Structure 1
Amino acid sequence: MVLDQDGSVFLLRSDNVEVGVHWTSPGGGIEPGESPVDGARRELWEETGWTDLVPGPLLCTWEHDFTWHGIPVRQHEHIFLTVGPRRGPLGDVSDVHATDGILGWRWWTAADLADERADAVWPPQLPALLAGVRAKGWPGDGSPGSLPPVEPVDLGYVPNGTGNSTDAARSTAAGQAREGTDV
């Protein structure tokens, strides 16, 4: 989860069958042998072209179901915080965006996240999570030593809001578990 100096958050606009069009942080699956932090750094680079940001403290963990290239997956996510300059993706990330169903990007202020007319954000608890870290002084002056500590939150399983829990359990039983990470 990348915050700028004003506390705005960088989100990607995505589309998938389970959630529909929604906004989420850069992230994805962890490769074999990769730690969640290393996966977060790699995914941030793949989806934004940013190589200068380092994942900071863990904001939250959560689980959700989705289909990845036709395979039902229950993904366990780790979302890390970091501070970076307000900018757009660097270089050509169009192939990755096409493969991952990424439709666009933007910076969201706290007011944008609180707007009831805004598109869905994922996880749905994101506005409250970010309000909590902003209340603790995030992003500070942006330097690693100035960042206030964050108490990670476990959101548990977050249903997609489409279908019912029986459908979600059935699709996961037929699929696989997967570790994921976001920054």
Structure 2
Amino acid sequence: MRAEAAADTYEGGLRKVARVVLLDPDDRILLLHGHEPDDPSDDWWFTPGGGVEGEETREEAALRELAEETGITEVELGPVLWRRMCSFPFAGRRWDQDEWYFLARTTQTATAATALTDLERRSVAGARWWTCQELTRAHETVYPTRLAELLRRLLDEGPPAGPVTLDTEIV
């Protein structure tokens, strides 16, 4: 959750979000490690991405967010895999989001956050590439819920014919 550039000024309402399911040549997925700004023990893993800004498209937002959060710019952006509505508390406010998850591939595996907002600097602890097997065995909280199962299906069957609507998540 890139509670991002717009995050510092987010005042509620439904937020349009673009996320990236980024896979490397070994089919590992990149996840960011986030936590509540004032409580690092309240943590989770999530896909890179964040809010659409101004007149940009969701595709443009996905690529911009990926570059800002990971430094990765050499990507091949694919189709929208999943769509999800979610609502969760973070940084003292409630976030209501309409998230689109884009498939992307890269050979660039080194990461370095290049343009985090103040809120992100206080709430993103790093990034890690995960195999599907590691994700399946993980005991950490991961969003979207069931990501290991979704990734396994993606790797076994390829992208769906059209975006799959995931269950709404309200935390």
Asked if TM exceeds 0.5, the reply is: yes
- Once superposed, which parts of structure 1, at least 4 consecutive aligned residues long, lie more than 6 Å away? none
Q: Deviations over 1:15-51 (max 9, x none)?
A: 138xx31111111111121111111011001101122
What does 1:47-126 correspond to in 2, within 5 Å?
Answer: 47-67=69-89, 70-85=92-107, 87-90=109-112, 93=114, 96=116, 99-100=119-120, 101-115=123-137, 117-126=138-147
Gaps of 5+ in 2: 1-20
RMSD of aligned residue pairs (Cα, Å) = 2.4
Distance 1:13 1:111 in 2: 18
Cα distance between partner residues in 1 of 2:35 and 2:118: 11
Offset at residue 123 of structure 1 (A): 0.6
Report the CA distance between 1:151 and its aligned residue.
Answer: 3.6
Instruction: Find the aligned partners of 1:48 and 1:89 in 2 and give their Cα distance.
Output: 5
Structure number having the greater strand percentage: 2
- Greater RCO (CA < 8 Å, at least 6 residues apart): 1
Greater C-alpha Rg: 1
1:159 corresponds to 2:170:
yes
Does residue 135 of structure 1 match 2:146?
no
TM-score under structure 2 normalisation? 0.75
1:164-179 correspondence runs (5 A): none
Distance 1:34 1:63, change over 3 A: same
CA positional deviation for 1:154: 0.5
Identity of aligned residues (%): 32
Q: 1:53 to 1:42 in 2, by over 3 A?
A: same
State the match for 1:173 in structure 2: none
| TM score, norm. by length of structure 1 | 0.70
Measured against aligned partners, the alpha-carbon deviations of 1:66-89 in whole angstroms (never above 9, x if no partner) come to: 346544220110110111125221
